[in-house]
Amino acid sequence: MSVLIVGSIALDTVKTPVEEHADLLGGSASYAALAASFFSPVRLVGVVGNDFPESEFDFWRTRNIDSGGVQRANGKTFRWSGEYSWDLNTRQTRSVALNVFEHFKPELPDSYRKTDFVLLANIAPSLQAHVLDQMERPRFVVADTMDLWIETTRSDLDALLPRIDLLILNDSEAREMTKETSLIKAGRRIRKFGPSYVAIKKGEHGALLFGEGEFFSCGAYPLEDIHDPTGAGDTFAGGMAGYLAGAVKKVHFTDLRKAMIYGSVLASFAVEAFSLEGLRSLSMDEINQRYEMFKLMSQFEVPA
Ligand code: AMP
């Protein structure tokens, strides 16, 4: 089954302590769509400006990513720039230029309205809701969010939460949203706001998953070299949603556990290179090898 993905499509400038690259493809939807496309066909919704390279549309076509929902508007593509500190965990936003994103209103092609699986990648919650308004009862809705929306548009976010099945957010966002220091309490609390399932990402320390009386925790894939952590969360969400759309009719907690491992595997490849380069050349074999490694790493009783 296909997955519909809406979010930002950006040109990013990223600085780490050792490298800087300008105007590379980024945005929550770009990362999520490419990650999801390994498991299921993608219907992409977003906006780009006249400066956006046509070659990306060609690339999407080769990856079963339908860009019929991507508007090309008059003006410049959304631009974001960030700088990482030495540990590559903390990041400061250096600049944001909304450009064509400022007046973006996602409009779904008719053929998208019946898509069963939806990923509302990180954009303003009012836009995420506008996408859901146009859909005919999707089976499973995943949403991502960020600190900006928790701080500035909390009532829009609160209105969205009962309409989604799985909320994905990172540890600091979960704490900010609930004012709980314990992530276990935070995850349980967020479920009460509406979503049946909550995934809390902890960066290099893995992720937690909460359901009704159900809990799962996994580590992150141990990497020697991280070049660019940008988009790790979007890739994680895309990997999860893509896996669910491709493999599952009705989502159960056991499927979400597997989805979370696939999300972690995809994110591990994304951060090994700048922008989306780690995902562009990736093969399904490499994904499956890391998935198997996760299985081995989580075994603590080894058969004799
Ligand atoms: P992450 O590293 O998962 O936080 O995601 C980074 C991506 O989010 C970058 O590629 C940015 O282009 C994109 N981004 C940054 N700020 C925003 C925003 N306010 N809305 C949507 N996308 C954003």
pLDDT digits (tens, 9 = 90+) for 167-187: 999 999 999 999 999 999 999
Q: How confident is the model at residue 227 (pLDDT cuts 50, 70, 90)?
A: very high
Establish whether residue 116 lines the binding site of ligand 1, counting it when its CB lies within 6 angstroms of any ligand atom: no
Cβ atoms 21, 45 nearer than 8 A: no
Give the model confidence (pLDDT) of 255-299 as tens digits.
Answer: 999 999 999 999 999 999 999 999 999 999 999 999 999 999 999
Instruction: Return the C-alpha torsion angle 86, 265, 150, 148, nearest 10.
Output: 50
Q: For residue 27, how far is its CA from the centre of ligand 1 (angstroms)?
A: 5
Give the residue, out of 34, 80, 123, 156, with the most ligand 1 atoms within 8 A of its beta carbon, to mutate for a pocket test.
80
Q: Which residues pair with 3 in a beta bridge?
A: 42, 117
Please tell me if the CB atom of residue 99 comes closer than 6 angstroms to any atom of ligand 1: no
Question: How far is 218 from 187, CA to CA, in rounded Å?
Answer: 15
pLDDT of 304 above 80: no
Q: Is 233 in the pocket of ligand 1 (CB under 6 A)?
A: yes
Segment 93-108, tens digit of pLDDT: 999 999 999 999 999 9
The residue whose C-alpha atom lies closest to atom 11 belonging to ligand 1 is 27
- Which residue CA neighbors atom 9 of ligand 1 most closely? 27
Instruction: Report the pLDDT value the prediction gives residue 89, as an integer from 0 to 100.
Output: 85
